Structure 1
């Protein structure tokens, strides 16, 4: 157990990835997706709220719609920060990847739970809604893979 905790919370981060490579390979496209989502939420005129998330902004007051757009842009900034940490891990501190899979699991799982308890009116199914079901499971499996050392060929 201490060995697993040591992989999850190393005394210092280095650029040596010790887990199964599948968790490393899937980490790269998720990092790219995180950057794409962040820039879209920041720079799209509606922050992706109506065009992607299908929130009916045109039925809100101008102030209400602007408030949601601002919140989406702020969310994009948080995603950009997470994307930068992920990129740093991918390039320089690969030993962080198990911990980041834990954070990804907590974020997507937490987002799903919040969506259940505080639902948001939409007129369609947003890609993020689908990701809310899939990514917590994927992240948990990748966390296990990231903590599980690959077998070395004899």
Structure 2
């Protein structure tokens, strides 16, 4: 059923060997993550305050420029990974299952790491609600696991005799 060798194939080429739905979901997910990366990198004020629900900190000196710079750098690192994903979608599709593992690692770590970090923060002082990345991490981890498994199931051949 599952062909675990598909994750790191012996032949690296532009052929996706899993279920087509996993390939198309990967493209859709990479679009969403690329959008997220651009928001974090270039529209950090909207991403940090309006989407992630953090409260603007004030002080002397103003901490906002430093916070915005770190948020922007985080977006740049996300964008670099998305660029690798787009390169594989275009030219090295056989590595998509391996990229699913990396995405799954990121979102699974969020499930366990965010509660530890947020436990040390007073919710009322720093944010108005739970950030979407923390709120939806468990759901996304499950979805990514499902599509990882679909990406390592070879499709049934449509030709007779195979």
Structures share fold, TM-score greater than 0.5: yes
Structure 2: stretches of 5+ with no match in the other structure: none
Name the counterpart of 1:137.
142
Task: Summarize the alignment of residues 5-154 of structure 1 with structure 2, pairs less than 5 Å apart.
Answer: 5-46=4-45, 48-57=47-56, 59-61=57-59, 63-119=62-118, 121-153=126-158, 154=160
Q: Distance in 2 between matches of 1:138 and 1:100?
A: 14
Post-superposition CA distance 1:59-99 (Å, at most 9, x none) = 44354333332221111011101110110111111101100
Deviation string for 1:29-88 (max 9, x for gaps)? 11111111111111115261112100112x443543333322211110111011101101
Stretch deviating more after TM superposition (120-129 or 134-143):
120-129
Q: Displacement, 1:113?
A: 1.6
Deviates more, 1:123-132 or 1:46-55: 123-132
Give the RMSD, CA atoms, in angstroms: 2.1
CA distance in 2 between counterparts of 1:33 and 1:13 reads 26
Distance 1:114 1:7 in 2: 29
Bigger radius of gyration among the two: 2
Aligned counterparts of 1:85 and 1:105: Cα–Cα separation in 2: 16
Aligned residues: 152
Contact 1:47 1:72 in 2 (8 A): no
Question: TM-score, normalised to structure 1's length?
Answer: 0.87
How far apart, in 2, do the equivalents of 1:10 and 1:63 lie? Answer: 51
Asked if 1 retains the 8 angstrom alpha-carbon contact of 2:19 and 2:151, the reply is yes
Instruction: Tell me the secondary structure at the aligned position of residue 50 of structure 1.
Output: helix
Contact 1:41 1:73 in 2 (8 A): yes
